[in-house]
Structure 1
Amino acid sequence: MKFIYIILASILFNVSVFGQNGFVIQGKAAKQFEGSKLYLDYQRDGYSFSDSTVIKQGKFTFKGEVDEPNYARMILDSQGLGKLRTQNTGDRLYFYIGNENYNFNITESLKKVAITKSPLHESFVQYINFIGGDFMDIIDQGNAAFSAVPEDAVDKNEQYAAIKQKFDEKFDKRNDQQLLFAKQNPNSIFAVDALTEVANKRGTKIIETIFLDLNKSLQNSSRGKELAARIYADKNIVIGSMAPNFAQPDQQGKMVQLSDFKGKFVLLDFWASWCSPCRAENPNLKKAYINFKPKGLEVFAISIDDNNGREAWLQAIKDDDLPWIHAADLKGWRNDAAVLYGVRGVPQNYLIDPTGKIVAINLKQENLHKVLAEYIK
């Protein structure tokens, strides 16, 4: 039980980070990184924040504030390629950020940076070691393994299948450890993230009892409320249930409520400008809208773009020529409506009848037209 005690002690001590006014990251970097640009992405109050700085005389600094500790990403662009070209495959670091001080020392790479002075980071490392590795690190390992397979290999498909099986098993074992961690550490801020990842793979039923045993402050945190909403949605937002009402600002900032559509069939559609499957489905949705709009169909589209993606959202509406009503609170995956409905993937939609009852879920391609024809005469 010694390991468990260390985790708990670190987390309980870490409550003090909320008494500090913001975070400060003081960094040193080896000579070869002089002049390189660093990017930092994190969340505050449900919105995405991005910052950047340049390494000068072997030093760099970031300052900011978070409402609660959250998973952050730092990117080192040592080749001057820009953020877009380095954020997914370049030198990246994923870590937990809270309102405390951090000392970074970059020698070989950002991915191998030494971080000191942060009790939160120490606790995060212990958590990651306990469950079997960081999610994004494992994804990178899997992608590297796939890329290492020669394109002309005779047994290429067999190698791909073996790699997939290996990493599927790794993630399964990791989920088992996350469940164990949450059971043994009900006061840890990482317990909510552990259960969220398990729910992503295995559903919410398996984690509900463990979640309800967590410290109430964790259940009432932003991520705790999101997970509670998913548990509720999986049990209650189903075919035959009444669709929960909500309000979101449209493109001009005017609040639109789902209840505004009562008396009509409405397709509640969750999407995003960056979602390729969503964009690919838009022409089909537009065809259905044109055919059934005269018979009373409305489409209420909720984007899960974040505040950094507002222009991309508006441009996607214009480029795809989408004539229905659009809204977004620009909180990304923390969009209030998406959280309420337990949405964890897009595209996702709900067909709601004139009384406000959900009659169909996830209608796409030809099935969309077929089901609409059954209900809207």
Structure 2
Amino acid sequence: MNILKINKRLTITSSLLLFSVVSFSQNKFTIKGQLSPEINGKKVLLSYKNNGVSVEDSTKAEMGKFTFKGLIGDPAYARISVDPPAITTMQNVKSLDVRDFFIDAGEILITGSAGAKTAVIKGGKTQADYQRRFELYKPVQARVDSLNTLIAGYKEKGDNKAMDAARLEMNAEFAKTGKIDSNFIKDNPNSFLSLDIWRTKHRGTLRSNFEPEFKRFSPEVRNTFAGREIQAKFDLAKKLAPGQPAPEFKLKDTAGKEISLSSLRGKNVFVCFYTPDFMNYDAFTFNLGRINRALKDKNTVMITVYYSYADRPDSYWMETIKRSNFNWINLSDIGGVNNAGSVSPTAKAYGLTYYTLPNALLIGEDGKILASQLKLNDTGLGQELAQLIK
């Protein structure tokens, strides 16, 4: 079990893509590999993201040598794979010859006497920082590996008490990684890796009270594509803060009739943007029903706006409404978000992506936002919102 991989996602996909990739400078990089001659003729696959855009490149090794050339904006978290299988499964994952690293502009060297997994990778500042972080994780990794061996033995013996104790210790080891990362970020404000760890920690949710943390990064880091993108999210959060006018939207209901937010002026509006594709969806729908009951006598209109992949039929939306018991206004913005981020005017106005759904706001009779960034899993949310309505 690799701790660093648990704490670091391969792809950086929580992007709103508010900036064009081409609007940021692109710099050349070259990756030169020299591994065992035994990989001669085998495919070498390179995968990474260039300012939010997925890139894959491949070549064949010749006597262990291979070369990649390309353009990169921000430093990019990448993976090199030697002779990758067509499909990765639980059965073959341990045998994969892969290595994770960071691509910086300039030359990167991947060298070793065997495959990619044990190679030494030298590149720019971000890769050096990544290696420093890896060294900090080593004691935790060693203990986790030892505990995994112990747990396997306890399981075979049927010693549940010892197994539970070992798992508790493992949880404590995992907790240490958070402290390691917090200290790394604090000590390295001019490192792009620090920013990458920080945004991964917060995933797709960047609440406005996180902005002071972001401001601690150096101007150089904050002016990267990722930094400018994060700042844009904070700016959008300010526009959606209580007291601000709610952005207009016009979407169709189940009968094909277009309904605008402005047409509901004079009523309070609880609007929830959602997709049915997330865990705990049933608990979410149950809580929406609870919120509806709390607000029904408060001159409030309840609206749910459906998001899904564009290739799904409309019937799936209707089935979702029925299954979820959404007996209020149901609107659709199918295709409004995709894996890249916001697509439709409504999604862009409210900063919606698959990583920020579900998302809800309470809008007052005057069209101004009463509450945003709502915790939709809070069973007392309905009563709290009811108290906000005069």
Q: Classify the TM-score, shorter chain.
A: 0.5 to 0.7
* Change in CA separation of 1:241 and 1:329 when aligned onto 2, cut-off 3 Å: farther
Counterpart position of 1:44? 50
Please give the root-mean-square deviation of Cα atoms over the aligned residues, in Å.
5.5
Q: Percent of pairs identical after alignment?
A: 17
- CA displacement at 1:367 relative to structure 2: 7.1
**DSSP 3-state at the match of 1:39:** strand
* Change in CA separation of 1:339 and 1:353 when aligned onto 2, cut-off 3 Å: closer
- CA–CA distance in structure 1, aligned partners of residues 362 and 194 of structure 2: 35
Alignment of 1:1-377 (within 5 A): 21-34=27-40, 36-77=42-83, 80=85, 82-83=87-88, 90-116=96-122, 118-120=123-125, 123-125=128-130, 127-128=132-133, 132-133=136-137, 142=144, 145-146=147-148, 149-150=151-152, 151=155, 152-154=158-160, 155-182=162-189, 185=190, 188-196=191-199, 208-209=211-212, 211-228=214-231, 240-242=242-244, 245=247, 263=265, 265=269, 267-269=271-273, 275-277=278-280, 296-301=301-306, 314-315=311-312, 321-322=319-320, 324-326=332-334, 327-328=336-337, 330-331=339-340, 347-353=357-363, 355-359=367-371, 361-364=374-377
Amino acid at match of 1:156: M
* Change in CA separation of 1:332 and 1:259 when aligned onto 2, cut-off 3 Å: same
**DSSP 3-state at the match of 1:363:** coil
* Change in CA separation of 1:261 and 1:94 when aligned onto 2, cut-off 3 Å: farther
* Change in CA separation of 1:107 and 1:74 when aligned onto 2, cut-off 3 Å: same
* Change in CA separation of 1:138 and 1:364 when aligned onto 2, cut-off 3 Å: same
**DSSP 3-state at the match of 2:193:** helix
Give the structure-1-normalised TM-score: 0.62
- Determine which structure has more spread, i.e. the larger CA radius of gyration: 2
- CA–CA distance in structure 2, aligned partners of residues 111 and 261 of structure 1: 60
* Change in CA separation of 1:149 and 1:343 when aligned onto 2, cut-off 3 Å: farther
- CA–CA distance in structure 1, aligned partners of residues 114 and 102 of structure 2: 21
Give the structure-2-normalised TM-score: 0.60
Q: What is the count of residue pairs matched by the alignment?
A: 331
* Change in CA separation of 1:245 and 1:146 when aligned onto 2, cut-off 3 Å: farther
Counterpart position of 2:17? none
- CA–CA distance in structure 1, aligned partners of residues 333 and 142 of structure 2: 39
- CA–CA distance in structure 2, aligned partners of residues 119 and 225 of structure 1: 22
- CA displacement at 1:166 relative to structure 2: 1.8
Is the 8 Å Cα contact of residues 38 and 76 (structure 1) preserved in structure 2? yes
- CA–CA distance in structure 2, aligned partners of residues 30 and 339 of structure 1: 52
CA shift digits 1:10-64 (9 cap, x unpaired): xxxxxxxx98753332323324444544433322243223334444543333333
**DSSP 3-state at the match of 1:68:** coil
- CA–CA distance in structure 2, aligned partners of residues 286 and 109 of structure 1: 52
- Unpaired stretches in structure 2, ≥5 consecutive residues: 1-23, 253-257, 322-331
* Change in CA separation of 1:197 and 1:20 when aligned onto 2, cut-off 3 Å: closer
Counterpart position of 2:11? none
Is the 8 Å Cα contact of residues 29 and 105 (structure 1) preserved in structure 2? yes
Amino acid at match of 1:28: Q
Structure whose residues are more often helix by fraction: 1
Counterpart position of 2:324? none
- CA–CA distance in structure 2, aligned partners of residues 330 and 189 of structure 1: 24
Is the 8 Å Cα contact of residues 230 and 343 (structure 1) preserved in structure 2? no
- CA–CA distance in structure 1, aligned partners of residues 209 and 356 of structure 2: 23
* Change in CA separation of 1:340 and 1:347 when aligned onto 2, cut-off 3 Å: closer
Is the 8 Å Cα contact of residues 370 and 388 (structure 2) preserved in structure 1? no
